[in-house]
Amino acid sequence: MMNKITFTLVAAVTMTVALAIIPGHAWKVPPDKGTMGKDEIAEILAGNDYPETTTYTQKIEFIDFYSYGKKFTQVVVRLDPKKPRTRDAKKLVIVGAEPGSEYGMDFIVTVEGKEGMGVWLAKRGITFIALTRVGRWNFLAADGSGSWKDIPLGERMPIFNRSQKANWSPEDYTSQLASGETSPTGSEYYRFPKPGTELFDQMLAATPVTLLMGYQKGLNHVLSHIEREKSILLYWGMSTGGAFLWPLAKYIKPDGYLGWGTVSTGVAYLYSRVKEGKFDWPYDKAALRVRDRGLRDFSFYTTHIPQATRDTWWQNALKNPRFKSVEDPEMFFSSAALTEIAYRLWMADFLPPEYKKVSFDKFINDIFEVSYPPKELKNVPALEMNGTLDEILSPKVVDATREIMEPYCGKYRVARIQDFHHYLFTQDSIKVVGSLWLRFIESGYFDSWSRSLPSFFQK
């Protein structure tokens, strides 16, 4: 019987060989914790290693569900290529989870007004599924696009289900100047729902458990069990989307994690901050809070962009919700806020009786659990990719979160791209990151152990 050391050595040799023998490609993926430099980037941009191979169709699905006695609607956008790309006779499916201030459609069209990563992948044969967070889709948009463009920035509050017929009134919430530093990107205003309003009750019921339930129900709706078994399923949480795709593995286990600008689990992300000597996040007053993600926040990520271009992009970005809300306590592991949510919800008069049939410690633990890495990550490979100039997930943050996450995963690897930033705003950045993803897939990094080993070790 092969011991663990021999097994690890064989796997490492197999991976090295696989990376070396991919035909027709001169540039290589960087080694673990290595950086793809300017020469390789230029080679990818000058070449056409992964050309368009197919057309695709787009479909938007709405899934209604109830959580803690309140109705929510999960929105899922799916892109299906006419000619699927396969590996080992299985088609490739990538599930993307949207950043906190967006609503999934940036995967389709970027703020530059050009194709997003979801479209880039679909045109190369990969089925792409975008999960939007509950509260982020504007069901009141006249054209059905989900866009928030027609709602003034200072009047945007989460719209949790498609039954709502009008925007929230200013009587439903209070607004105040932001205080403290939940995120270094900067928020100018905070808004809080008023107790006794339906908005207050909806936001109270929109716990991390609810958001994760939406992801689960949405993905199960558009990806059947049979299709799942015939696919290689990879998760990519863009920015805050990662905070919910990591725990989703408990319910729908992927074959691997792609990364670009991906936030980790709540406790891992908090750990990266603690490594810097900052201990404030657990005490953050984040319960039932909406944070504006206005021009100050947008400018934080676009300081390298010329002013005229930034102004144009900002107008396109206003289609996005441009706020953060119920994910903050989970993402930053604001344990005080999570506790407050649990107690308020337990006492709420709309909470169905069946929730109180379990003990309160189980009730509160369920809300906290979403912040932890699930044990189902065992044997799941993780690829963490970032730009060296990522505004919030710097190399030291990525290395710190790895300390928490790597023991849970089957294998863990970090790749960096020189001088790239957090968001994939441009076609060049999408092409480089997408090409690197496809090269890692071709290398066998996401193959199961049995398929990545030589045949004489598979018995």
CATH number at residue 216: 3.40.50.1820
Contacts of residue 55, Cβ cutoff 8 Å, sequence gap at least 6:
81, 82, 123
**Domain housing 443:** 4-457
Distance CA 441, CA 256 (A): 10
pLDDT band at 182 (very low <50, low <70, confident <90, very high): low
At 333 the pLDDT is 95
Distance CA 340, CA 356 (A): 17
User: Using one digit for the tens of pLDDT, what is the confidence trace for 114-127?
Assistant: 999 999 999 999 99
Counting Cβ atoms within 10 Å, is residue 432 exposed (0-12), middle (13-18) or buried (19+)? buried
At 398 the pLDDT is 97
Distance CA 143, CA 135 (A): 18
For the cut 80, the answer to whether the pLDDT of residue 10 exceeds it is no
User: Using one digit for the tens of pLDDT, what is the confidence trace for 287-336?
Assistant: 999 999 999 899 999 999 999 999 999 999 999 999 999 899 999 999 99
Q: Of all residues in the chain, what percent carry a pLDDT higher than 70?
A: 91
Report DSSP letters for 237-301, one per residue.
E-BTTHHHHHHHTTTS--SEE--SSB---HHHHHHHHHTTT---GGG---TT-EEE--HHHHHHT
Amino acid at the residue 291:
R
CA 126, chain centre distance (Å): 18
Residue 115: helix, strand or coil by DSSP? Answer: strand
Q: Which two tokens stand for residue 39?
A: 């020469």
At 178 the pLDDT is 84
At 57 the pLDDT is 98
Q: Which residue has the higher pLDDT, 257 or 448?
A: 257
At 100 the pLDDT is 80
Average pLDDT over residues 368-380: 97
Total tally of structural domains belonging to the chain: 1
Beta bridge partners of 175: 191
Average pLDDT over residues 342-365: 96
Contacts of residue 186, Cβ cutoff 8 Å, sequence gap at least 6:
178, 296, 297, 300
User: Using one digit for the tens of pLDDT, what is the confidence trace for 398-425?
Assistant: 999 999 999 999 999 999 999 999 999 9
| Best CA proximity match to 351, nearest among 339, 363, 361, 362 | 363
For the cut 80, the answer to whether the pLDDT of residue 18 exceeds it is no
At 23 the pLDDT is 44
Amino acid at the residue 362:
K
For the cut 60, the answer to whether the pLDDT of residue 383 exceeds it is yes
Instruction: Determine phi and psi for 29, rounding to 5 degrees.
Output: -70, 145
User: Using one digit for the tens of pLDDT, what is the confidence trace for 48-88?
Assistant: 999 999 999 999 999 999 999 999 999 999 999 999 999 99
Q: Which two tokens stand for residue 386?
A: 């970032």
pLDDT band at 25 (very low <50, low <70, confident <90, very high): low
For the cut 70, the answer to whether the pLDDT of residue 176 exceeds it is yes
At 181 the pLDDT is 59
**Whole-number average pLDDT of the chain:** 91
Beta bridge partners of 290: 191
For the cut 50, the answer to whether the pLDDT of residue 6 exceeds it is no
User: Using one digit for the tens of pLDDT, what is the confidence trace for 184-221?
Assistant: 666 888 999 999 999 999 999 999 999 999 999 999 99
Report DSSP letters for 387-427, one per residue.
ETT-SSS-HHHHHHHHHHHGGGSSEEEEEEETT--SS--SH
Helix%, strand%, coil% for the chain, nearest 5:
40, 20, 40
User: Using one digit for the tens of pLDDT, what is the confidence trace for 230-284?
Assistant: 999 999 999 999 999 999 999 999 999 999 999 999 999 999 999 999 999 999 9
With beta carbons less than 8 A apart as the criterion, state whether 67 and 210 touch: yes
Q: Which two tokens stand for residue 2?
A: 């092969």
